[in-house]
Amino acid sequence: MDLLYDTLFNGLAIGSVLVLAALGLAVVFGLMGVINMAHGELMMLGAYTTFVVQNIFKAVLPEALFPVYILVAIPLAFAVSGLVGLLLEKTVIRRLYGRPLETLLATWGVSLILQQFVRSVSSAFAIGLLLAVVGGLLVPRLTPKQWWQQRWTPLLGTGSWIVSGLIGIVVASLLGGQRVLDQPWFSARNIDVTAPVWLRGSIDVGAVNMPAARLFIIALTVVALVAVGWFLQKSVWGMRIRAVTQNRPMSDCLGIPTEKVDALTFLIGSGLAGVAGVAVTLLGSVGPNLGGNYIVDCFMVVVLGGVGKLAGTVLAALGIGVLSYIVGSGSLLLVWPAMPAGLNELITFFATTSMAKVLVFAVIVVFLQIRPAGLFPQKGRMVEA
Amino acid sequence: MADLLSSRNLRRALPWVVIVVVALVLPAVLPPFRLNLLGRFLSLGIVALGIDLIWGYTGMLSLGQGIFFALGAYALGMYLQLSSLEPGQLPEFFSLYGVKSLPAFWQPFTSPLFTFFAIWVIPALVAGVLGYLVFRNRIKGVYFSILTQAALLVFFNFFNGQQKLINGTNGLKTDTARLFGLLVGSDAMQRHLFWLTVVLVIAAWFLCRWLTRGRFGDALVAIRDDEPRLRFTGYNPTAYKTVVFAVAGALAGISGALYTVQSGIVSPQYMAVPFSIEMVIWVAVGGRGTLIGAVLGAVLINYAKSLVSEQLPETWLFIQGGLFLLVVTALPDGLVGWWRQGGPGRLIAMVGVPPKAATYPSLDLDPEVQAEHSDIDTTPRGGAS
Amino acid sequence: MRKTSLRLLGGATALATSLSLVACGGGDKASGDFDGEVKVGILHSRSGTMAISENTVAEAELMAIDEINAKGGVKIDGKKLKIVPVEEDGASDWPTFAEKAKKLIDQDQVSVVFGGWTSASRKAMLPVFEAKDHFLFYPIQYEGQECSKNIFYSGAAPNQQAEPAVDWLLKNKGKDFFLVGSDYVYPRTANTIMKEQLKASGGKVVGEDYLPLGNTEVAPIIAKIKQALPNGGVIVNTLNGDSNVAFFKQMKAAGITPANGYSIMSFSIAEEEIAAIGPEYLEGTYAAWNYFQSLDTPASKKFTADFKAKYGDKRVTNDPAEAAYMMVYLWAAAAEKANSVDDNKVREALVGVSFDAPEGKVTVQPNHHVEKLVLIGEVQKDGMFKILENKGFVKPVAWNQYVPETKGYTCDWTQNRPDAGKYKM
């Protein structure tokens, strides 16, 4: 019995991380059919926000306040990742609606840039970047209007960006000579995010040992789910989002500002990634590669859960969590020690974390043979449904 | 004489000139290291051709071509491990993990004939089965991309974790093996392999051209542009998709095998997630839906990567990320597509040389008219999604 | 036309922005009178997952090169040669290591290559160096079971790190061992050796598990540890990189800590990793290395002070950096002894060369390894190690004597025999 509770708790613990990480992805995918490959990097930004908040608390505020830094980091991470997501939507994804595969590639490109950005960013670098962007934006304002109605206008536009980019590079490398300015803010190294003391211990309930960090993540997941659920079901904008999810052209006809809905959804989805980023700092390492560790698992959750229903996401994530725990820890051997030798060997073969992944994927592919559209398929009469 | 130099003849002759230069002149001119690089990048052109088939023509974006690439590579790698051994001997790494006898699935790879077929039949079979299971359920678009990526990760984990079966992360080395009495790593052998690669790239190109012309090719394009309509006309898209996916798998296998003998090692890194996505970007940059673009993209990008990472390693990710964005936002048809649609002419037109007028000159130069003109001109892109 | 142009413009914007993200590092030209140059290759991952660790090693090598140049470079035939490093990026990708090694040898014609971190990268480069009969200097502790004529190993062999650590654990901490490692060659091979060693010396392996590189979900492993060692015991950790953070954070949360009777010994955690994981998670765990920053000798203090002066006050030194630093000096010394920078002559001269390294005076042995100081330390609150035991200098053994397949074999490159790399004693 203890084993059952233990399995359930640990499965829930693994699953809740997946829920939190995949939630934003599922919301965006459901609405826009866009898979955001940079979702993992938005999580990473959330984790780096946590790092910055932690350092500010350490350096500036009285020590008594330190334990609550993580609570402050959550809304901030939401804001940072959400704003970056919004920027991404406004600049890139907007141009690519209706071309989901191109979006996939573009967001992958963004994820590469974000990864390298946190590795390389230093004060000199940031100043150079700022100069380049400001220069590129200002040239059209400062030059005669008629220049911008010529045949060679596109060359001028491109050229001005190239020139301002070069200026940025030159400035950055000049400033880079200064030791102070050249220091990378984060560098390629992993950074140290330390959980406050109250999240480092564990609580024993019966024979089950529950780490506080896991409980915190489960609670955070529940809060996030309730908040998203409430927002989608009860608020005006939530209703609009649902309307667009169900039928975009019709919603457009009825006067719902679909562009704003898209931007808002993307902001929320990205913000949720930031929150997930805060949560994973309690469990694992924080570094530029953080996103890659979670992203494929998130995709699996979305594929398994189907589009459009939060319940699908939750159920899929928990299912994957419990399954990978059972397989990975080899618990089956404990329940049934006397199983036939062949089966025993098979289970032992898969009872490592690497091989559990292999098996979980196989199960998902088999499951999709029975329910191709996931656990909760969206009902509709479209040919494509 | 004028006739000979007319643009039409020139265009006809150009590919052959390029082939002759690549096959005969370059081996004499380039130092062995650069020649070897070129050979490897050309062999990557073959996997790019396969991606072009399934993505450029059929509209299925596979992020898992690394699986088939690595399977072909491993098939040849295993043969080379065994070929240079005395009978009864085991490859060296087995003894490190305490394996006493050759695992059963290694046995057939003692035969060169079996290996010759294994290199392309095994990847084709795996692709066929995987494709059939997915296409049968009409899983497509982004779902298909994600599933292929997950499959890739599964294969990666499996090969990475199985030290005892396949030497895990270390991979298999080929440089010190012998093929036809020559050391694989020797300069002479590498030159032969380079020529073999050139021949096979041309052969693969002809195969793809043959496939994409005629009824089969039309069906593929129809799947890309409107799959339900094709189905309603009585075709079975599943069969077409499965076949073309298997062909792409076979091409990937051949490409992997050639790449391996020219780089001296096959390792699970060939199945890393980023590598497979990079393959897609080669095709995108070269120009999807244009076969020559796939090969060109593979060679160009890899050469650029190799040069950049020699000079400024940290910046490669920025450039690569920028390329992803550039190619989906500005050059949806890649370099070759841009060239064919008169891109250079338009660029020249911008600096003042008027383009050849197709209509009344003044109209032709009027930006307003041009905008409409280009709308009509660029045939509606079959939203390859 | 306008439409396409706009798209072009947008794309160019993207490219320009990404280009502008490129910040160049300025190179400073060292002045001095040299009579010539000698090129050496430096091949580490400057990008990707391993960049975190390998940057430090590359920096230590560059520091050694700068120091040698400042003293007049390498002296051959009475000429002063300036060492010119050619840096290449292995990009955390093993085939790339092989490719770049080829490039350094063929294109740049370097005299020697300093490089590699993971065993997989070394194994990928090995055939290149053997096929071209060139010379690689490799600075990381590794799993042994290899002895190449074309590689010089300045890191620890298992009998200079893992084996003494296991002995120490058996003597002081307990007999029940749980082995955790990343899923790749070093942990797998090291654990094979340790299992044989434990069998021979009365310990017991109660479980082992492997985590894919970069994986951060360790709940199943913790469950296995709890089942296997309910009341405490010894855990030997050969996890690499990111996984360590997840491992220690979640172990602490689950109560598997030194306070609860678990002795945790890590082989891949040095000062730098402690800083990234957070000392509060590691305090009280053990590590075995050949050098600690806290080693209290003048040479060690000078090394750390120089490193900090060059790369910043917050930086720490560690064992891999020390091994990398020392091997550059050993190469220079061997070249001066051989009176040539030709790799074959250097190889002949290398055996027997000594250097006063930060860990003490090290001497190159006939099996292309180095006699090294063996230290066992405990992590302190400040992220440094307290040295618990100093086992003195230990001679390297390449072919492991616990593993039945290699028992009785040895390696001696001063012998003139075709199988000098592996022959029966």
**CATH, residue A243:** 1.10.3470
What is residue C370's three-state secondary structure? strand
C312's torsion region: left (phi>0), alpha (psi -120 to 50) or beta?
left
> Structural domain boundaries of chain B?
30-316
- Tell me the chain C residues in contact with residue B306 when contact means C-beta distances shorter than 8 Å: 99
Q: What are phi and psi of B228, to 5 degrees?
A: -60, -40
Cβ(B50)–Cβ(B248) under 8 Å? yes
Tell whether A304 is within 8 A of chain B (Cβ): no
Q: Does A45 map to a domain?
A: yes
Q: Which helix (H) or strand (E) holds C142?
A: none
Q: Does A212 map to a domain?
A: yes
pLDDT 10s digits, B139-168? 778 888 888 888 898 888 888 877 778 887
DSSP state letters, A194-229: PPPGGGTSEEEETTEEEEHHHHHHHHHHHHHHHHHH
Cβ(A122)–Cβ(A182) under 8 Å? yes
Give the range of the structural domain holding residue A101, as residue numbers without chain letter: 2-121+184-370
Cβ(A278)–Cβ(A70) under 8 Å? yes
pLDDT 10s digits, C308-332? 999 888 889 999 999 999 999 999 9
CA-CA-CA-CA torsion sign (B51, B52, B55, B58): negative
Cβ(C181)–Cβ(C210) under 8 Å? yes
Tell me the sheet residues that pair with C153.
Answer: C138
Q: Measured between CA atoms, how close is C45 to chain A, in angstroms?
A: 11
User: What global pTM score does this model have?
Assistant: 0.83
DSSP percent split of chain A into helix, strand, coil, nearest 5: 75, 5, 20
For residue C18, pLDDT over 50 is answered with: no
Does the beta-carbon distance from A113 to B349 stay under 8 Å? no
- Tell me the chain A residues in contact with residue B148 when contact means C-beta distances shorter than 8 Å: none
What is the DSSP-derived secondary structure letter of residue C27? P
Of residues C6, C47, C252, nearest to A200 (C-beta): C252
- Chains contacting chain B through 3 or more C-beta pairs under 8 A: A, C
Q: What ipTM is given for this predicted complex? A: 0.83
**From A366-375, C81-90, C132-141, the region with the lowest mean pLDDT:** A366-375
Does the beta-carbon distance from B322 to C91 stay under 8 Å? no
What pLDDT does C335 receive? 93
What pLDDT does C15 receive? 47
Cβ(A64)–Cβ(A289) under 8 Å? no
Q: Measured between CA atoms, how close is B346 to chain C, in angstroms?
A: 8
Q: Give residue C32's pLDDT band: very low, low, confident or very high (50, 70, 90).
A: low
Report the percentage of chain C scoring pLDDT > 90: 44
**From B194-198, B281-285, B314-318, C12-16, the region with the lowest mean pLDDT:** C12-16
Tell me the sheet residues that pair with C393.
Answer: C373
Pick from B242, B169, B179, B201: which is nearest to B40 by CA? B201
Does the beta-carbon distance from A154 to C5 stay under 8 Å? yes
Q: Give the amino acid at A341.
A: A
Does the beta-carbon distance from C1 to B371 stay under 8 Å? yes
Cβ(A24)–Cβ(A39) under 8 Å? yes
What pLDDT does C300 receive? 94
pLDDT 10s digits, C142-189? 988 889 899 999 999 999 999 999 999 999 998 999 999 887 778 888
For residue B333, pLDDT over 70 is answered with: yes
What's the number of domains chain A is made of? 1
Does the beta-carbon distance from C12 to B330 stay under 8 Å? yes
- Tell me the chain B residues in contact with residue C17 when contact means C-beta distances shorter than 8 Å: 322
> Average model confidence (pLDDT) for chain B?
82
Q: Does A352 map to a domain?
A: yes
Tell me the sheet residues that pair with C287.
Answer: C266, C377
- Tell me the chain C residues in contact with residue B185 when contact means C-beta distances shorter than 8 Å: 127-128, 131-132
Separation between Cα atoms, residue A271 and residue A267, nearest integer Å:
6
Chain C residue at shortest CA distance from A150 = C2
For residue C395, pLDDT over 90 is answered with: yes
DSSP percent split of chain B into helix, strand, coil, nearest 5: 75, 0, 20
Q: Measured between CA atoms, how close is B113 to chain A, in angstroms?
A: 31
Chain A residue at shortest CA distance from B281 = A105
Does the beta-carbon distance from B175 to C212 stay under 8 Å? no
The pLDDT tens digits along chain A (385 residues) read 677 787 888 888 888 988 998 999 988 888 777 888 899 999 999 999 999 999 898 888 888 888 888 899 999 999 999 999 998 888 888 888 778 888 888 999 999 999 888 888 877 878 888 888 787 777 777 777 777 776 667 777 777 778 888 888 888 777 777 766 777 777 766 777 778 878 877 787 777 778 888 889 999 999 999 999 899 889 999 889 888 888 888 888 988 898 899 899 999 999 999 999 999 888 877 888 888 878 888 888 888 887 667 888 899 999 888 888 888 777 776 667 666 777 777 777 777 777 787 888 888 878 877 877 777 766 655 544 3
Length of chain B: 385
Q: Which residue has the higher pLDDT, B336 or B45?
A: B45
pLDDT 10s digits, B218-256? 999 998 888 888 888 888 899 999 999 999 999 999 999
Separation between Cα atoms, residue C135 and residue C131, nearest integer Å:
11
- Tell me the chain B residues in contact with residue A117 when contact means C-beta distances shorter than 8 Å: 318
A164, C176, C204, C223, C269 from C207: Cα distances, Å: 60, 9, 9, 11, 21
DSSP state letters, A12-59: HHHHHHHHHHHHHHHHHHHHH----TTHHHHHHHHHHHHHHHHHHHHH
Beta strands in chain A (DSSP E): 202-205, 208-211
Q: Measured between CA atoms, how close is C345 to chain A, in angstroms?
A: 38
Of residues A99, A151, A368, nearest to B137 (C-beta): A368
Q: At what angle do helices A310-329 and A290-305 cross, to 10 degrees?
A: 120
Chain A residue at shortest CA distance from C246 = A284
What pLDDT does B368 receive? 53
DSSP state letters, B103-159: -GGGGGGG-HHHHHHHHHHHHHHHHHHHHHHHHHTT--HHHHHHHHHHHHHHHHHHH
Cβ-proximal residues to B282 (8 Å cutoff; 6+ apart), any chain: B44, B48, B51, B294, B297, B298, B301, B302
Of residues C13, C250, C276, nearest to A190 (C-beta): C276
What pLDDT does C177 receive? 93
Burial C28-40 (b: 16+ CB within 10 A, else e): eeeeeebeeebbb
The two tokens of residue A89 are 């939507």
What pLDDT does C14 receive? 46
Q: Measured between CA atoms, how close is C135 to chain B, in angstroms?
A: 16
For residue C391, pLDDT over 60 is answered with: yes
What pLDDT does C330 receive? 94
Q: Give the amino acid at B143.
A: Y
Chain C residue at shortest CA distance from A6 = C223
Chain C residue at shortest CA distance from A196 = C280
Q: Which helix (H) or strand (E) holds A122?
A: none
Q: Which residue has the higher pLDDT, B127 or B331?
A: B127
What pLDDT does A385 receive? 39
What residues of chain A, 160 to 179, have a C-beta less than 8 Å from chain B?
Answer: none
Separation between Cα atoms, residue B245 and residue B220, nearest integer Å:
11
Report the percentage of chain B scoring pLDDT > 90: 29
Chain B residue at shortest CA distance from A105 = B324
Cβ(A47)–Cβ(A330) under 8 Å? no
- Tell me the chain A residues in contact with residue B153 when contact means C-beta distances shorter than 8 Å: 296, 357, 361
Position of tokens 């413009």?
C9
Cα dihedral C106, C110, C114, C119, rounded to 10, equals 10
